[in-house]
Amino acid sequence: MKRFLSILGLLGLTLLTLAGCSQASRSATKSDNKGVMLHDQNVTIVQQTPLNTVDISKVTSFSKLRSSTEGLFRQGKNGHLVAGLASKTSVSHNDTVYDFTLRKNARWSNGQPITASDFVYSWKRTIAKSTHSVNANLFAGIKNATKIRRGELPASKLGVVAISAHHLRVTLDHPIAYFKTLLAYPLFAPQSKTEVQKYGKQYGKKANTQLYSGPFKLVKWRSNCKTRVLKPNPYYWDKKHVYLHSLTITTATSLKADLKRYRAGKLDEVQLFDNQITENKHQPDYVVRPFSSMRFISYNFKTANKTANQLINNQDARLAISHAIDRKTLIDNALKNASLAPKGLVTAGLSKNVKTKADFADQQSAQGTVTGNTALAKKEWRRAQKTLKLSHYSLTLTVGNDWASKQVATNIKHQLETKLNHFDVKIKMVRTTKANQLALNGQYQLLLTSWGADYPDPLSFLQIMTANSRFNYGNWRNSDYNKLIIKISNNPTGNLQNRWQQMRDAEKLLMTNQAVTPLYQQADAYLSNPKLNGVVYNISGVVADYKGAYLVK
């Protein structure tokens, strides 16, 4: 999930097969219901968009790296941490110094040892301003990371050092409650300096211009290729628990064609859309997987259009827009899937209070601001009109040109124009990559976008709306909010209950201002081969891990 601000969507395009790409299929088999492994352990699945790079410092969607990358930890079932390349961890009494002992049998996919220096190099390369990593913000809290990102210090000053070949030490500016969980994210995996220097600009653009630290390695792939093939890493430290012979990932062609391939036994999993969901929801191989991705409307508070700027910067207008949208109607009519209505910006199931076990989403204090309420919307809209006295009320909603975005945008336009007097919503549909660029440049009025949690903590959502966040595309500013996020991030006392309340306060401030308007928490529907076992699915981070996957007869 993502862990960058992305426009989620389906690329309903037929892509040409490129040189270096391959197509794989799986023969259909019948189950004997005994759970005995098949001799043929080859799995093929579909993703909606191709992979453009396996350069850890530059990749934008770590879920696409699947199981080829491993860091100090892995994310196991239900988000629990499991052992990765670190065999031992010790933490100082003030929770600011972490010492990791690396496995002596940790090896790259070429058989060379993975050392502490590979971690040091990788982290410093990613955070360096010259790398332009979209994920560099996740290093915040590691000693000097913030100053390095601002250009005030060189990357060499990052608080990470190789004490010896198998001893890595990380120093933090302040305690980070979720630090070990964060380290399970592929961003914090090692990189080989030798490989980076050897391949230069070609590093990470082909299967053989990268070394792999995880249970699998890419053997057939090039940047943006339609199909990629992974096979077991023969030097992986835990290779005895890797069962697949190959994992093939193809890019979606069309809804009908992909479903047909699944029915023919050529795919082990396919995502469903539109009427496919209602037509297949009672099938035994139908599954729904919610994850921590919130779709929302981003407001550009500095849009160049004067009239639009006035309207967007009016709090009553933003609240009216949110209250005019019935989320259940949106989900049922536009998406026709199992997506969840929001209770705030933070998604359900992401984080629970360590003491009370309460879900943060359920404790969000301004749930009424994201609940459809036509009467209140009309009242707020009239109040906004009375204040602004504009000659017309029109905003342009920029969306990606994928199926889901089209459906959602059309439904939102209808709901807003029906309920808010004299309001005209224009839809600007562009390529998904173009929409991302417009967001980065602040060239929009309203933007249909999303955010996926990198780690299971509410701060993963809350931090994107701070003044210095590159993901605060709409330039929302609130000094009280910024101060709260700093307190939450630093948490010098280590008081987790106090931090929890501060996060609730910050989220309430965000929603009462409607800095963004949450629409729905994404939950995708699939048909999945019931013989496929052992895949670990999580709600945040890398949502699917095939390390222990296997097929039964």
Give the pLDDT confidence of 11-33 residue by residue, as tens digits.
Answer: 332 222 233 343 333 333 333 34
Give Cβ neighbours of residue 336 (< 8 Å, ≥ 6 apart). 274, 275, 277, 278
Cβ atoms of 251 and 221 closer than 8 Å: no
Q: Which residue type, as a one-letter code, is found at position 462?
A: L
The end-to-end CA distance of the chain, in Å, is: 32
Q: pLDDT at residue 9 above 50?
A: no
Q: Buried b vs exposed e over 44-64: b needs ≥16 C-beta within 10 Å?
A: bbbbbbbbbbbbbbbbbbbbb
Q: pLDDT at residue 451 above 70?
A: yes
For residue range 263-308, list pLDDT tens digits in order: 999 999 999 988 899 999 999 999 999 889 999 999 999 999 999 9
CA 91 – CA 161 distance, rounded (Å): 15
- The values of phi and psi at residue 160, to 5°, are -140, 135
CA 49 – CA 546 distance, rounded (Å): 19
Cβ atoms of 421 and 29 closer than 8 Å: no
Q: pLDDT at residue 466 above 70?
A: yes
How much is the pLDDT for 472? 96
The yes/no answer on whether domain 42-254+529-551 falls in CATH 2.40.37.10 is: no
Once rounded to an integer, what is the mean pLDDT over residues 78-98? 94
Which tokens hold the place of 212?
């792999």
Does residue 113 or residue 252 have the better pLDDT? 113
How much is the pLDDT for 493? 59
Q: Which residue type, as a one-letter code, is found at position 30?
A: K
Give Cβ neighbours of residue 249 (< 8 Å, ≥ 6 apart). 44, 45, 46, 47, 51, 66, 227, 228, 229, 230
* Closest of 159, 192, 164, 190 to residue 176, by C-alpha: 159
Does residue 64 or residue 57 have the better pLDDT? 57
For residue range 160-189, list pLDDT tens digits in order: 999 999 999 999 999 998 899 999 999 999
Alpha helices in 420-478 (DSSP H): 432-441, 459-462
Cβ atoms of 258 and 267 closer than 8 Å: yes
CA 306 – CA 312 distance, rounded (Å): 10
Cβ atoms of 454 and 464 closer than 8 Å: no
Centroid of chain to Cα 538 = 11
Q: In sequence order, what are the beta bridge partners of 83?
A: 73
For residue range 506-515, list pLDDT tens digits in order: 999 999 999 9
Residue 348's pLDDT band (cuts 50, 70, 90):
very high
What Rg, from alpha-carbon coordinates, does the chain have?
Answer: 24
Residue with tokens 């280590």: 494
Q: pLDDT at residue 449 above 90?
A: yes
- The domain locations on the chain are 42-254+529-551, 290-524
How much is the pLDDT for 95? 92
Q: What is 290-524's CATH topology?
A: Dipeptide-binding Protein; domain 3 (3.10.105)
DSSP 176-199: -TTHHHHTTSGGGS---HHHHHHH
CA 399 – CA 435 distance, rounded (Å): 7
Helix, strand, or coil (residue 263): helix
How much is the pLDDT for 324? 99
Q: pLDDT at residue 533 above 90?
A: yes
Give the range among 105-114, 370-379, 537-546 with minimum mean pLDDT.
537-546
* Percent residues over pLDDT 70 in the chain: 93
Angle (CA) 424-430-435 rounded to 5° is 100
For residue range 120-143, list pLDDT tens digits in order: 999 999 999 999 998 898 999 999
Once rounded to an integer, what is the mean pLDDT over residues 309-329? 98
Give Cβ neighbours of residue 441 (< 8 Å, ≥ 6 apart). none
Does residue 168 or residue 401 have the better pLDDT? 168
CA 278 – CA 357 distance, rounded (Å): 34
Cβ atoms of 209 and 196 closer than 8 Å: no
- The values of phi and psi at residue 551, to 5°, are -105, 135
Positive or negative torsion for Cα 127, 200, 3, 296: positive
Q: Where are the beta strands (DSSP E) in 393-515?
A: 393-400, 423-430, 446-452
CA 404 – CA 390 distance, rounded (Å): 33
DSSP state of 470: T
Angle (CA) 22-24-26 rounded to 5° is 175
DSSP 300-338: -TT-S-HHHHHHHT-HHHHHHHHHH--HHHIIIIII-S-
Q: pLDDT at residue 4 above 80?
A: no
Stated pTM of the model = 0.84
How much is the pLDDT for 18? 31
How much is the pLDDT for 492? 59
